[in-house]
Amino acid sequence: MIDFELEPQVIERLKMYHAVAENLMRPISREYDEREHEDPDQFFQTMWQAQALADAAPARNDRDGAERKNGPRPRNLLTCITTEEMCWGDAGLFLATPNSGLGGAAVMAAGTPEQKARFLKRFSEGEPKWGAMAITEPQCGSDSAAIQTTAVRDGDHWVINGTKIFCTAGQRAAEKSDGFVVVWASVDKNAGRAGIKSFVVERGTPGMEVTRVEKKLGIRVSDTAMIIFDNCRVPLDHLLGSAEVRRDGGFKDAMATFDATRPIVAAMAIGVGRAALDYVRGFLREQKVPIRYGISPRRLTAVERDFMEMEVQLQAARLLTWRAAWMLDAGKRNNLEASMAKAKAGLVVTQITQKAVELLGPLGYSRSLLLEKWMRDAKINDIFEGTQQINMLIVARRILGYGSKELN
């Protein structure tokens, strides 16, 4: 049975995250949207220290009482819940916050226990650090199986060559502190999808160079980088998982990363959508415009119908997202549910933020409010981690039982 009842310590932790979102993120949200790619250093330091304290709390609980009554600690569900809270504050700042990010998710999905301990341990101590994942290429967008980047074994190293684009947090991960980038590359072109593997390339590795940082519509404080790998040499044990090319491995192992990250992106979308919804609710209250629940739909005003529809859609996206995260925590296969959550949330947040701007008219469109920024920030959730169309295609394939050859 799925149980989404939050424990008291989780509720207290959420209050802390909400305070961070309201008091640390919202006040600088507009400033760092304008100062694209600049580092909010004070925010970084504060968040790094807060994260260290938050991470220590579960460890103490585990020593005292260890196991929850209903099973293992729901790590992925908790991540989604806290992600929503942070993105209620600011999605761009959330993405820029020092953490292992998508790179860490890839290590967790495809790495061996030894690799997880080695590459992720650093994120629990010391100075702020970043992780990123490099998948998309100039000739390879949504079809990740068409990757052209190669990794060739040369003695006790892999030599990586290729170009990656649209790497979230790519610049910070490649250039700051002890960050790393997880690169998808083919070790055997003749093996097709099975030949695709993930490699950890640590910050400062010769042959890895950030050549461009994109100027974007939204999430502007978060860097999105082009990275070129030119005879970039990494040790053999930086390949995540096994080097063996198997029909049931390779690309499937790498794609397991998305089973964990798509619910997180969906939670990001929900946080932005909730921010817009909360603002509209407060605005209507100030204008003494009631939202009358429990009466016949025929008696509702257009504003009431619109607002209630926004609420319903946001809640539906949240429940899909929590289910996908819960399944991962329970050790269940969740690739269908992860794509459903991502597709639903990406579409919903776009609709909610656009409707919020529309309901407030010229005021919503102006830069005096954050509504227009939330509308800009929202759209990326419908694009990265698999576009709306790709996720809908995955959902259709899973439900109908088709493969890529039967349904594309």
What is the pLDDT averaged over residues 325-349?
A: 95
Mean pLDDT, to the nearest integer, of 111-137? 83
Judge whether 252 and 332 are in contact, CB under 8 Å: no
Cα-Cα-Cα-Cα torsion 311, 312, 316, 318, nearest 10 degrees, comes to 10
Beta partners for residue 133, in sequence order: 182
The domains of the chain, with CATH numbers, are 8-99 (1.10.540), 124-238 (2.40.110.10), 251-400 (1.20.140.10)
* Mean per-residue pLDDT, 318-343: 95
| Contact partners, residue 329, CB within 8 Å, separation at least 6 | 72, 73, 74, 75, 76, 77
Q: Is 75 exposed, middle or buried (0-12, 13-18, 19+ CB in 10 A)?
A: middle
Checking if the pLDDT of 68 tops 70, the result is no
Over residues 92-99, the mean pLDDT reads 93
Helices (H) and strands (E) in the chain, counts: 14, 7
pLDDT in tens, 271-295: 999 999 999 999 999 999 999 999 9
Residues 213 and 168: their CA atoms lie apart, in Å, by: 10
- Which H or E element spans position 200? strand 196-202
Confidence of residue 1 (pLDDT cuts 50, 70, 90): low
Q: Nearest-CA neighbor of 352 among 61, 97, 360? A: 360
Q: How far apart are CA 280 and CA 259, in angstroms?
A: 33
Q: Please tell me the least confidently modeled range out of 133-137, 242-246, 317-321.
A: 242-246
Please tell me the pTM assigned to this model: 0.92
Segment 127-167, tens digit of pLDDT: 668 999 999 999 887 777 789 999 999 999 999 999 999 99
pLDDT at 126 over 60: no
H-assigned helices in 241-334: 251-286, 302-329
Residues 391-404 have a mean pLDDT of: 92
**Residues carrying an active site annotation:** 385
CB 323 within 8 A of CB 337: yes
Indicate the pLDDT class of residue 310, thresholds 50, 70 and 90: very high
